[in-house]
Amino acid sequence: MQDAESIQVLLNSEQRGALLPFVGQEMTVTRAARQSGSSANTTLARVKRWVRLGILRTVGEEHHPRGVSKVYRSSADAYWVPYRFTSAESLTELARAVYLPLLDRMLREYAGVGARLGGDWGLLFQRRGGTWNILPTQAAECRCSPLDEPLPAALLELETLVLTSGQAKALQRGLMQLLEQYRHGAHPHGETYNVFIGLAPAAV
């Protein structure tokens, strides 16, 4: 995208959420409003504007007892926005809006695993660098680890590493390769797990 007005649709959290039902699939205004939690009138007004901007296009009609509904679809399955149309603040807010709800959900589910362990399990609070590190651990007299086979697969780690640029790129590639390995090897009858991976140079 190169048009500032169109780009704002993606940078605005409410409009981005309302646009999502149309991306990569055919959708009526009524169904999109239901999925995004917006009113039908608000969604219709947005759709008319998005069609004018070229973000959506009309792809057909649906006939039903009450009449005919237009069917829309995004003009592309993905949108590229140059960094020059954003700022550090808007990128930070965008990352928070997209990823914080997912991270919050994963943290709740991780905490739930700890609560279900019960028994001799507890939390070990220890200093790591300039912050606290909290690990699920059994009482000192127990010879068990969260990695033991019978226990649920749950992991939460935050680490500050001192790396060369080459090491950091190797870590980035290794993490992505590991994720791709399990993404493509997903078992059709397995359980669903949330995985959150992040890597960024620390601010100086």
State percent of the chain over pLDDT 70: 95
Q: Do 167 and 119 share a structural domain? A: yes
Note whether residue 192 is domain-resident. Answer: no
Q: Do 53 and 98 share a structural domain? A: no
CATH number at 31 reads: 1.10.10.10
Quote the CA–CA distance of 102 and 11 in Å, as a whole number.
18
Give residue-wise pLDDT tens across range 115-131: 777 767 777 777 777 77
Domain boundary among 27, 44, 74: 74
Total domains in the chain come to 2
Note whether residue 144 is domain-resident. Answer: yes
Q: Do 65 and 120 share a structural domain? A: no
Domain boundary among 74, 102, 121: 74
The residue with greater pLDDT, 29 or 188, is 29
Note whether residue 194 is domain-resident. Answer: no
Note whether residue 81 is domain-resident. Answer: no
Q: Do 165 and 91 share a structural domain? A: yes
Q: For 134, left (φ over 0), alpha (ψ -120 to 50), or beta?
A: beta
* 22 band by pLDDT with thresholds 50, 70 and 90: very high
Give residue-wise pLDDT tens across range 90-101: 788 888 888 888
Q: Do 56 and 28 share a structural domain? A: yes
Q: Do 147 and 68 share a structural domain? A: no
* Sign, Cα dihedral of 126, 131, 133, 134: positive
Query: What is residue 204's predicted lDDT score, i.e. its pLDDT?
Result: 60
Contact, 56 vs 50, CB < 8 A?
yes
Note whether residue 99 is domain-resident. Answer: yes
Note whether residue 104 is domain-resident. Answer: yes
Locate all alpha helices (DSSP H) within 21-164, ordered by sequence.
29-36, 40-53, 88-117
Q: Does residue 113 carry a pLDDT above 90? A: no
Q: Rounded to the nearest 5 degrees, what angle is found at the Cα of 191, between the Cα atoms of 104 and 35?
A: 55
The residue with greater pLDDT, 56 or 138, is 56
Note whether residue 190 is domain-resident. Answer: no
Q: Do 167 and 102 share a structural domain? A: yes
Q: Rounded to the nearest 5 degrees, what angle is found at the Cα of 140, between the Cα atoms of 134 and 141?
A: 155
Q: Do 148 and 174 share a structural domain? A: yes
**Domain membership of residue 141 as a residue range:** 87-184
Quote the CA–CA distance of 69 and 62 in Å, as a whole number.
5
Q: Does residue 175 carry a pLDDT above 90? A: yes
Q: Do 152 and 131 share a structural domain? A: yes
Of the ranges 71-75, 111-115, 159-163, 187-191, the best mean pLDDT one: 71-75
* 201 band by pLDDT with thresholds 50, 70 and 90: very high
Q: For 54, left (φ over 0), alpha (ψ -120 to 50), or beta?
A: left
Q: Does residue 140 carry a pLDDT above 70? A: no
Q: Do 97 and 171 share a structural domain? A: yes
Task: List C-alpha distances in Å: 5 to 79, 83, 91, 92, 116.
Answer: 14, 15, 17, 20, 49
Question: Any idea what DSSP says for residue 1?
Answer: -
Q: Do 62 and 26 share a structural domain? A: yes
- Estimate the share of the chain in helix, then strand, then coil, as percent rounded to the nearest 5: 45, 15, 35
Q: Do 100 and 170 share a structural domain? A: yes
